[in-house]
Chains A and B, each alone.
Chain A
Amino acid sequence: MKTRPPQLDQRIEDLLADPAHAENALHAPLQELWQLHRDHLSRLDRITHLSDSFQSMVRDRELSLTERFDKQLRQLQKIARISDRYQEMLRDINDALKEASTHDALTGLANRRLIMDRLREEADRSSRLGQSFVLAMVDVDYFKRINDTLGHDVGDRVLVAISRSMQAGLREYDLCGRWGGEEFLLLLPQTEMEDAMSVVSRIHEAIRELRFAEDGADLTITASMGVAGHKTGDSYAQTLKRADDALLEAKRQGKDCVLSA
Chain B
Amino acid sequence: MNDFSIPGSQSTPAIAGNWAEGVLSMQGDSYPENSFELFGPVLNWTQSFLGQAEHPLRLELKLLYLNTSSVKAIMDLFDLLEEAHRGGHQVAVNWYYDRRNERVAQLAAEFKEDFTFAFAIIGEDYE
Contact = CB atoms under 8 A, between A and B. Distances in A.
A82 B65 contact: no
Contacts of A12: none
Contacts of B106: 85
A86 B75 contact: no
Interface in A62-98: 74-75, 78-83, 85-86, 89-90
Contacts, number: 37
Interface in B5-53: none
Contacts of A85: 103, 106-107, 110
Q: Residue among A81, A83, A85 with the most chain B CB within 10 A?
A: A83
Interface residues of B, number: 15
A12 B114 CA distance: 66
Chain A facing B: main interface SS:
helix
A82 B103 contact: no
A81 B114 CA distance: 14
Interface of A: 74-75, 78-83, 85-86, 89-90
Interface of B: 65-68, 71-72, 75, 79, 103, 106-107, 110-111, 113-114
**Nearest 6 interchain pairs by C-beta:** A83-B68, A82-B110, A82-B71, A79-B71, A83-B71, A79-B72
29 contacts: A75-B72, A75-B75, A75-B79, A78-B75, A78-B110, A78-B113, A78-B114, A79-B71, A79-B72, A79-B75, A80-B68, A81-B110, A82-B66, A82-B107, A82-B110, A82-B111, A83-B66, A83-B68, A85-B103, A85-B106, A85-B110, A86-B66, A86-B67, A86-B68, A86-B71, A86-B107, A89-B65, A89-B103, A90-B65
